[in-house]
Chain A
Amino acid sequence: MSRVNKKRKPAEDSALRGLISNPDFSRLLILIVMFALTAVLQKNFFALKSIVRNINSFTPLILLTMGQAVVIISGGLDLSVGSALSLLTCVLTSVMREGMPITGAYALVLTFAVAMVIGVINGIGIGYFRIPPVIVTFATSFIWLGIALFLRPTPGGETVDWFQAFYKIGNIENAPASLKAFGDIVPPALILVLIGCVLWWAISRTRTGRYIYAVGSNSESAYETGINTAWVQMQACMINSVFIFLAALFFVGQNGSGDARMGDPLTLKAIAAAVVGGIALTGGRGSVYFALVGALIFSFVSKIIFFANIPNAYQTLFGGVIVIIAIAGSQIYTLSSRRAMEESKLT
């Protein structure tokens, strides 16, 4: 009996250690801590109004991070997400005419097409020509910026009334009361994030989902086994485009205007949030759902800093510092947890 106990004890111990050094578990733990901290700091955190407000302010980063995660897992990296987002908002607001509801539908179709073209062009560079992703998307980001500036040199533009359905259904004048009530409880932003999750869930069930991981973790062997790696990477870029498209809908619903420079700060945040969520920048590792967790951690940290009463001028500064701390921390953590895992396997 005592022998059994003796034998079991180290096993339990290593199980606990395994749980702690399990990156997913500790990420959730960090998220809970950040959540609790924010709940303490923010007044009326659990009131419906502030929950909705928080969801609204987190949504764009969550969507962009999930899209970025897909690209990173496929072995790429997209530096053009920010300017692509700006371009899409400019296209949306250029097509729509106030008081003509049908133009909203045209805008949706056209903008989705533009989003797909963005994905295809990035995909051609990353996948087919195999230019280092970082540099090719750096180049394309300026193409999107330039076109966005052509469309909208200064922020502005028109929208149709029903487009606010992507932000707050209650703002639409002649929406049915039941729909308004529904929108008050379930904010459209949440639905957009859900659409993103369902989209990735559906894709991850298909062959494409597996191929994205295969290509990202070892492009050469994936190619040798007959996978069309270029096409897979292009598909990853197009999935990313869908996420950017969803974020653009939310932005235009919220602001009612397009802005060629609006998305720029989000590029770096999305990459950093993906890294915090455990997406390895080397590709092939990580989960898109945990990218969501990373984005939430990132958003909560920004929120906490906001509550620390730091003046507005410091925001960019702290944004940069957080990114460096986040990626350095993740790097150190990944290395040390891998070492711990190896050690526990050896003993």
Chain B
Amino acid sequence: MSRLMSIRDNAAFTIINRYKKLIIAFLLILFLFVLGEITVETFFSLGQILLTLKLASFIALFGLCQMVVIAAGGSGLDLSVGYTATITAVFTAAIMDGQNANLWMAVFVALGLGVAIGLANGVLTAYFKLPPLVVTLAMANILQGVINVYTAGKNITGRPSPVLQIIAAKSTGIFPNIVFILIIVTPIVMIIMYKTKLGLKLFGSGSNETAAYLSGVNVKMVRCTAFIFSGTLASLIGLLLIGNMGIAFKDMGSNYVMPSIAAVVVGGVSLTGGDGNYVGVILGSIFLQTLTNLLVALGWGDAGKWTGFGIVLFALLIVYLSSRHRR
């Protein structure tokens, strides 16, 4: 009897161990809500939670871009995601012009832009072996520059098509529609990541480059593809962003770059590659959005938000990354 108990305890222990980081992320969210309820009145309400979910969905989608690039390894990071989204939003605003009929054209342009940007990032990092961070940061500058040139001396005209607005901004009953997108995307991503050859190749390239190469994986191609995926998805998120906001403006996406990385770290995804549990990233996004809400409710605004994000990211990096080889 006691032996059975110990086995069961063991099983419970392994489950806890495996999902340790997810549990930590979940506890962090609960902690924030309790803290919010204590310091700010009416923080813990259904409406507040649903709004948090809606805004967190955007961070989570950007987090998916980041997670795939990080999982492919080679110290990959994509700092251009937010700018890719902005450039798509700015360009497609005029194309759509508030008409559903023009949506296909807009999606086509978004895909083209996303693939081109991702391909440029991927080729420069994977094939030319340039540091991903510097390349994507420079790409961010280039995209911001293109936006500056495009918008110089004129207003950004155009409105999103009504379909986009329904998807990104409206709610069905009490649930924001964007949450349904996330609910559809999550299982697809999880299945691709954990059950298909594609996911195996991705994780293989990230966790052990040499082993992956020797077993016939084209590591460079995998990493390049990861960047193309990131660029394309970021570009499509740009469409959702303009759908949500109703207009396009110059730095609508750039504020998502930092949260997308922080969400991945809070979600417990290893930054060294070869790992990627998207549920964790979603929890991370909810945590960050809750933190933002709390800091805004306390009246600390942007300054508090960035300081808070920075400190959380720094602290979690120490907790998750330093344990193995501290000196």
Contacts and interface: CB of A to CB of B under 8 A. Distances in A.
A313 B152 contact: yes
A271 interface: yes
Contacts of A139: 262, 310, 313-314, 317
B17 to A, nearest CB: 22
A135 B258 CA distance: 11
A311 interface: yes
Given A230-B327, A317-B146, A331-B128, A143 B311 contact: yes
B306 A320 contact: no
A133 to B, nearest CB: 10
Contact of B77 (A128, A134, A149, A223): A134
Interface in A206-237: 223, 229-230
Contact of B327 (A77, A141, A229, A313): A229
B70 to A, nearest CB: 10
A132 interface: yes
A100 interface: no
Contacts of A88: none
B10 interface: no
A41 interface: no
A132 B301 CA distance: 29
Contacts of A171: none
Contacts of A131: 317-318, 321-322
A315 B75 CA distance: 29
**What DSSP secondary structure best describes chain A's contact surface?**
helix
A1 interface: no
Interface stretch (A16-24, A186-194, A322-330): A322-330
Interface of A: 77, 79, 125, 127-132, 134-136, 138-150, 153, 223, 229-230, 265, 267-268, 271-272, 275, 281, 311, 313-321, 323-324, 327-328, 331-332
B314 A320 contact: no
A146 B303 contact: yes
A331 B302 CA distance: 38
A134 B306 contact: no
Contacts of A147: 303, 307
B130 A327 contact: yes
B326 A323 contact: no
A128 B326 contact: yes
Q: Which 4 A-B pairs have the closest CB atoms?
A: A317-B145, A146-B307, A320-B141, A142-B310
B145 A315 contact: yes
Nearest to A265: B141
Contact of B306 (A145, A272, A318): A145
Which among A150, A223, A318 has the highest number of chain B CB atoms within 10 Å? Answer: A150
B138 A268 contact: yes
Nearest to A315: B145
B314 A143 contact: yes
